[in-house]
Amino acid sequence: MLEIRKSEDRGVAEHGWLSSRHSFSFANYYDPEHMGFGPLRVINEDRVQGGGGFGAHGHNDMEIISYVLDGALEHKDSMGTGSVIRYGSVQRMSAGSGVMHSEYNHSRTEPVHFLQIWILPDQQGLPPSYEEKHFDRAAKQGRWCLIASPDGREGSVRIHQEAALYAAILDGNDTLDFALSNERRGYLHVALGEATINGIPLKAGDALKATNETKITVTEAKNAELLLFDLP
């Protein structure tokens, strides 16, 4: 079964310094039909104006992944980690038993555009931890590049869940398949550009949910950057 989540149907939050779109229920946006997909709980597409950001706040028992699409995102946390991530960088914070962190636009003038992704862990109360990896365009061009996994294989960041996250950049005549096993489900989010997924045209911000499907096929891409979640 395939289900489409259109970009324009997502939750909207406008705060001046922040423009955000929520694929699933989050904060003041509540939709009982979109509470998550398996352990995937949040995909927020955030645009933060220069000098803006999220002040120190707490999380627990959540795997939080930040994926920068443009600009620079500055992170600080109560573990003593401080970092600035840019396009190509993937940041993973396991909140575990509890952590405080802040996220700000590193620039005072230019916006930052990024996806914040939350995945429920398969264990609670773990020690909080942080990890960051960089994946250049070549690693994602025309192929599925593994960027997050439960065992950190292929240089991916390690998450505490039997889920895998892949990224790909496609354009023109590129065709790309992904095989799904019977006991898994897939969630494909179009981060940038547009592409046809299993015969369905999708644009930036759109997503496809695949349940009881054996394959996801991407064709007719135009400057597309895609994230694919292989989920229990």
56 pLDDT band (50/70/90 cuts)?
confident
Write down the pLDDT at residue 55. 87
86 pLDDT band (50/70/90 cuts)?
very high
Question: Architecture of domain 2-231 in CATH?
Answer: Sandwich (2.60)
| DSSP for residue 9 | G
Write down the pLDDT at residue 184. 95
**Partner residues linked to 53 by β-bridges:** 104
Continuous H helices in the chain: 137-140
Q: Report pLDDT digits (tens) over 149-167.
A: 999 999 999 999 999 999 9
Q: Which residues, 6+ apart, have CB-to-CB distance to 56 below 8 Å? A: 76, 100, 101, 102
pLDDT score of 182 more than 90: no
Q: Report pLDDT digits (tens) over 96-146.
A: 999 999 999 999 999 999 999 999 999 999 999 999 999 999 999 999 999
The whole-angstrom separation of Cα 55 and Cα 52 is 9
The whole-angstrom separation of Cα 105 and Cα 98 is 23
Q: What percent of the chain has pLDDT over 90?
A: 96
Secondary structure (3-state) at 138: helix
Q: What ranges do the domains of the chain cover?
A: 2-231
Residue 216 CA, chain-centre distance (Å), reads 18
Mean residue pLDDT across the chain: 96
Encoded tokens for 113 = 């555009």
Binning the chain into helix, strand and coil, the percentages to the nearest 5 are: 5, 60, 35
Write down the pLDDT at residue 13. 97
* Cβ neighbours, 10 Å, residue 2: 15
How much is the average pLDDT of 21-38? 97
Write down the pLDDT at residue 68. 97
pLDDT score of 194 more than 90: yes
pLDDT score of 72 more than 90: yes
How much is the average pLDDT of 13-38? 97
The whole-angstrom separation of Cα 168 and Cα 2 is 20
Write down the pLDDT at residue 183. 87
